[in-house]
Amino acid sequence: MASIRELKKDINSVLGGIIEAVYIVEASNGEQSSKEGSKIIDDAIGTFDELIAKVNDKEVENRKAHLKKVREELEEKANKLVVKVNKLAS
């Protein structure tokens, strides 16, 4: 099931990129870490755990539709986290 593998890679890549962006923004602002940045990172890790658990759930009725919803949820949550990162940068 290559699509499941790709979905897991996408989840890891997208949320890892958001975490990396937080570190870059904090470094460019001359901060080691901020409360806001730590909150974004914690949210990204929580989202990662939640989405991976949903991908690994084999008890769903329609697996293809379930995975499509997981991908949509990744996009939605990642967009919200990016907005938070952008606020952190400004």
Model confidence pTM above 0.85: yes
Domain boundaries along the sequence of the chain: 2-89
Mean pLDDT, each 10-residue run in order, the chain (90 residues): 84 96 88 84 96 92 92 96 90
Q: What is the pLDDT of residue 10?
A: 95
Q: Are the C-beta atoms of 79 and 16 separated by less than 8 Å?
A: no
Dihedral sign for Cα 31, 28, 76, 63, please: negative
Going by C-alpha positions, the residue among 27, 52, 22 that lies closest to residue 37 is 22
Q: What is the pLDDT of residue 2?
A: 56
DSSP class of 29: T
Q: What is the pLDDT of residue 85?
A: 92
Q: What is the pLDDT of residue 29?
A: 81
Q: Helices (H) and strands (E) in the chain — how many of each?
A: 3, 0
Instruction: Give the CA count within 13 Å in the CB-facing half-sphere of 77.
Output: 20
Going by C-alpha positions, the residue among 1, 2, 7 that lies closest to residue 51 is 7
Q: What is the pLDDT of residue 30?
A: 80
